[in-house]
Structure formats: structure tokens, C-alpha cells
Amino acid sequence: MDLSGFPNLLDRAFLEYRIRQTRQRLSVSLNSFAGFLDFSPPIVNMWLSGNRLPSQVNVERLIPKLVELLDLEVYDILGLPRPDQNLQRLTQVWSCIPAKFQEMLAEQAEKYAAEGENAPTEIDESKKSDETEESDKSDKPDEEEKEQLDTNKEDGGL
């Protein structure tokens, strides 16, 4: 990972931080920015001035905060691949998915990963609609069954 542009990246993040804090009429000092990043002010100051570069571990700690300020541009500047959009979407809704379905999704993903090149590349719509129809069926009688029950009652059947 090329960190030569890191001081400029951090400077831009600090500027964005100051703009947001000013809009909210909050403190815009280097100390508050360092607190936001969860690092000491002297370390952040050395990074900003370019006198010192963060370690790989510290960059990994900083990325979520920098993304919060600068969006995905952080990945481009640091020469890192951008996160997969579908994985991000799944991560955002994961906690809303019931545990049994989380497990099913994880198993399905592992199955596709294990199949490698042999994995299907398209969703079989016929299976999808069959599964939907099956999931729509329940123990409740449908309209036709209700009519039959009503007819049997009228005829004295059952």
C-alpha cells in the first residue's frame, strides 16, 4: 500500500471534519479531530505534517473514519480495492435477517464458493417461483377449499 499521499488525504479529512463541525457549531480543533479519529493529537499532527506515516494497523483503524468523512475516495487514494457494493448492502441489512435465514444464506454462499467455476451464473426463475408458491401455501384453506367446506355443511356432510 502506497502511503505517500496519506498526509494530503488526512488533511482533506480534517478539512471535511472542520466543515461538518462548524455547521454543527462544534469544536474544530486538532484535538477534537484526533478524538474523532481515536488517536492522540501529537500522532495526528505528525501524520498531517508528513513527519510520520501511520502503520498498516493504524491505517486499517483509520479507514472507517476517513470513509465517513470522504466516502469511498479513501480507497482510491490509498490504492486499495473498493469494497463490493453487494457485500456492503448485505452487511447493512444483515442484522434484520432472522438467524435461521442468515445461516441459510451463509451455507448457500459457501456452496457457491466451493463450486467455483461450476457454480450457476443465473438464478433459475422457475425454481424461484416454485419456492415462492410453496412458501405461500399454508395450513389455511384456500377459497376453493372454503367453498367445498361450506357446501358440505349445507348438505349435512362432514
pTM here is 0.40
pLDDT tens digits, one per residue of 45-81: 999 888 898 998 998 888 888 877 776 666 666 676 7
Does CATH place domain 6-78 in 1.10.260?
yes
| Whether residue 18 has pLDDT greater than 90 | no
User: Where do the structural domains in the chain lie, given as residue ranges?
Assistant: 6-78, 84-120
So what's the pLDDT on residue 110? 86
C-alpha grid cell, residue 87: 457485500
Place of cell 496519506: 6
| Whether residue 148 has pLDDT greater than 80 | no
> How far lies 17's CA from each of 34, 61, 68, 75, in Å?
10, 17, 10, 18
C-alpha grid cell, residue 152: 358440505
Place of cell 473514519: 65
pLDDT tens digits, one per residue of 104-145: 888 888 888 888 777 676 665 555 555 555 555 555 555 665
